[in-house]
């Protein structure tokens, strides 16, 4: 189980269009920045939240 949160560069939000698991433990996050003219500053493109199921080890 996982979900994404849009990114943020400076004060510019970076939307997430879709995401999926392409193989066990590997996820693809697709972002559409076509409407943005650019962004300046530090930040992140996306955040992936997930829950671990099962016992440790």
d(CA 50, CA 26): 12
The pLDDT tens digits of the residues spanning 9-45 come to 888 888 888 888 889 878 888 887 777 777 888 998 8
pLDDT over 90 for what percent of the chain?
4
Task: Please give the Cα distance from 54 to 24 (Å, whole number).
Answer: 15
pTM of the model: 0.58
Split at pLDDT 50, 70, 90, the class of 55 is confident
Question: Per-residue pLDDT tens for 2-12?
Answer: 677 788 888 88
The reported pLDDT for the residue numbered 42 is 92
The dihedral sign for the CA sequence 51, 54, 55, 56: negative
């Amino acid at each position: 189980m996982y979900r994404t949160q849009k990114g943020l560069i400076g004060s510019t939000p970076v939307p997430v269009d879709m995401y999926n698991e392409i193989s066990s433990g590997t996820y693809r996050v697709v972002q559409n920045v076509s409407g943005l003219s650019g962004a300046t500053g530090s930040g992140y493109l996306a955040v992936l939240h997930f829950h671990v199921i099962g016992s440790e080890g």
